[in-house]
Amino acid sequence: MKSLLMLVLVTSVTVTAQNQRFPDCTSGNLAGNAVCNTSLPPSERAAALVAAMTAEEKLQNLVSKANGASRLGLPAYNWWSEALHGVAYAPGTQFRNVPGPFNSSTSFPMPVLMAAAFDDELIEKVGNVIGIEGRAFGNEGWSGIDYWTPNVNPYKDPRWGRGSETPGEDVLRIKRYAKFMIRGLEGPEEQRRIVATCKHFAANDFEDWNGANRHNFNAKITLQDLAEYYMMPFQQCARDSKVGSIMCAYNAVNGVPSCANKYLMDTILRGHWNWTEHNNYITSDCEAVLDVSANHHYARTNAEGTALCFDAGMDISCEYSGSSDIPGAWSQGLLKQATVDRALRRLYEGLVRAGYFDGAKSTHALLGWGDVNNHEAQQVALQAAVEGIVLLKNDGTLPLDLKQSSKVAMVGFWADAPEKLSGGYSGAPYFLHTPVYAARQMGLDVKVATGPILQEATGGSSPWLASALAAARDSDYILYFGGLDTSSAGETKDRQALDWPTAQLDLLNSLGSLGKPLVLVHMGDMMDDTPVLDMEGVSSILWANWPGQDGGTAVMQLISGQKSPSGRLPVTQYPANYTTIIPMTDMALRPSSKSPGRTYRWYPTPIKPFGFGLHYTTFTATILPSFATHFTTGNLVADCKNTYLDTCEFPALPVQVTNAGNRTSDYVVLAYLSGKYGPEPYPLKTLSSYSRLRNVTPGETVTISLEWTLGDVARHDENGNTVLYPGVYTVIIDEPSLTTMTFTIEGDAIMLDKWPAPPV
């Protein structure tokens, strides 16, 4: 736990939160309502509550800051809480602003760095911690129990300011991240621990570019790209994981605003994916309802736009202030009673299923402050940072042979800046351990000097140059912490360039000229690392993104060799000129006369490819000959009894991995498929399975069976259908390749999933 003192506080201090409170089913008018009857099905309990409301009460509960119904004993409730990488600040979440319970939460690395671990077990552990802490906050009134996370939009353009919120660019990686994060957040019990929300549905992946912004953008997408890429993470959320909630996005898709898009929300989400089992709800993104009329001009008035959204399947309007026109839509007869009741039943059934009305009978009622940022949670946060950090360059300098007498210069604006560790959508961490803090904990003789952030002037007059060089000259090793500051991108703001700031490159050149081991820790978002990869004075490069509350400890454990790097890039590293070649608003994935292609599947010349990551040791891999080399489409589907054929198992791939070096290390086995099969005119390389091996010792050989499905082997045709094609398939292990093999699938192409056609 945090400390003995704070453990004592939890037993001696009564915390009164002003933000949220659970309904009291033991007294008042609510006690006699069937919503409090735990013997009834959740759908009946929710329906009984809605039936007891007046029309005015119903309308006041269709927005994120819901008024409740004091007449019934139903308290006000704010549906908007956040937990992207830990319980975070939000209108529905408060943190105690003095020492004591609920003044902090565990802060994990940003999702893109956690995704770089390619560790499903880890992601479920992270989700479990966040879900437990989120429910503890809710139990004590500091938040709701609905959390609008995770963000599962694919990160296809490196300029996107919110890309670090996502699990990267690859559909399989995003789907498995979503699967295990949701399982952790909502918990394994029938009663949800919290209600998770997948966002932003759909094709929401830029903020503001050349006059187009997320509030007015119309994403023009082919059915093939829509089904194959932009929608697949939400298929996992809705069809396969049955997530409690989904958020519709600001942008339009093929001319129809997402929150008024009946094709997306009704035909596909609730219909084709059967996301109706538990009356799960859809929230708008915040102010997105107003966008329907004001920015997309899809409706003449806000009242009309509001009614269109609810009719299409949205259930609640997220608002900073009254940005929808629910009263106007109602008074004009545009918003029907049946639509209002349907939305409220979905909303309150979600709360019923999370035990909101059950009081002490709730499965999760006993979760409290002692479950927030305890020792186990802190260890998971540290593990996530260690596993996610990626080694991009190493001339043998790393790991450093550090001793307590070692003198280390720690240079750069990120070296000792706690506020730079967390990234966006953060809460209040109990601690933030910077690299400088961690180095001092190790007993190192640390010399600290700041550095330029963006493009400050270089030269002898610069305020940071003299101190940086002085610290470096008086040290055995130089660690430089740089990259782009968090203020250069984020929500509402995209990056304009992928270049390293010139001032930082100049400083690195000056430091490199001293002839001492120089390790660059690249923080923040991915950039074009060409100049630092080519710079002779830079010995090694680690990409650490925003590594969370113990990020400094993780960095120093890797640099010192206490841990071995094993992270893999979850995104492509593009050249700087990529930003001049393709507009952010171009949603097409495949290369054309106008586009070089997007993501590792279609862009052929990266600086560093998706899946790249170095180790302190050497691994070899072999695909065992026990794997069959001939299959037929008919036999592959013949024995499958699954409702969805794309979820049927493909024969597991046996891979033997040997640590041929002299250091113990984790190893991520990546299995790609490539070949000219299906509708593509060229071979595609597609990640089809992966798994993390832990603590492979020198000389040890480990055999693993990589699991995959027919859907992982299939491709999508031009109409969006998922098809298992005959052809010659090449399996590639690792990036760069360690080994390959081929197998053949014969027979007729078989449609595994028929994509619904949009309305004409």
Q: How many CB atoms lie within 10 A of CB 510?
A: 15
Question: Cα(37)–Cα(524) distance, rounded to whole angstroms?
Answer: 50
- 216-240 burial string, b = 16+ CB within 10 Å, else e? bbbbebbbbbbbbbbbbbbbbbbbb
Q: Which residue type occupies 649?
A: E
* Burial of residue 211, with CB atoms counted within 10 A of its CB: 0-12 exposed, 13-18 middle, 19 or more buried: exposed
- 143 φ, ψ to 5°? -160, 175
DSSP states along 140-199:
TTSS-SEE---B-----STT-TTGGGSS-S-HHHHHHHHHHHHHHHH-SSSS-SSEEEEE
Q: Where are the beta strands (DSSP E) in 312-417?
A: 390-394, 407-411
Q: Tokens 């890429």 — which residue? A: 229
The 3-state DSSP class for residue 239 equals helix
Closest CA to 447 of 459, 456, 435, 457: 435
Whole-angstrom Cα distance, residue 330 to residue 333? 5
Instruction: Please give, one letter per residue, the 3-state secondary structure of 380-394.
Output: HHHHHHHHHCEEEEE
Residue type at position 609: P
Q: Checking phi first, is residue 252 left (phi over 0); if not, alpha (psi -120 to 50) or beta?
A: beta
Do 139 and 365 form a contact (C-beta atoms < 8 A)? yes
Residue 210: Cβ-neighbour burial (10 angstroms; 0-12, 13-18, 19+): exposed
d(CA 736, CA 8): 53
Q: Given 285, 416, 646, 717, which residue is catalytic?
A: 285
Q: How far apart are CA 250 and CA 37, in angstroms?
A: 38
The torsion angle over the Cα atoms of residues 374, 376, 378 and 384, rounded to 10 degrees, is -150
Residue 699: Cβ-neighbour burial (10 angstroms; 0-12, 13-18, 19+): exposed
Contact in structure between 23 and 74 (CB atoms under 8 Å): yes
Beta 65-66 vs 208-209: how paired, if at all? unpaired
d(CA 237, CA 269): 10
What is the C-alpha separation between 412 and 504, in angstroms, rounded? 9
User: Counting beta carbons within 10 angstroms of the beta carbon of residue 580, is it exposed (0 to 12), middle (13 to 18) or buried (19 or more)?
Assistant: exposed
Q: What DSSP designation does 214 have?
A: T
Residue from 285, 312, 151, 315 nearest 213 by CA: 285
Rounded Cα gap, residues 212 and 224, in angstroms: 24
CB 241 within 8 A of CB 234: no
Active site (annotated) includes residue 285 = yes
Residues 6 or more apart in contact with residue 756 via CB below 8 angstroms = 263, 267, 268, 271, 272
Which sequence positions are flagged as catalytic?
285
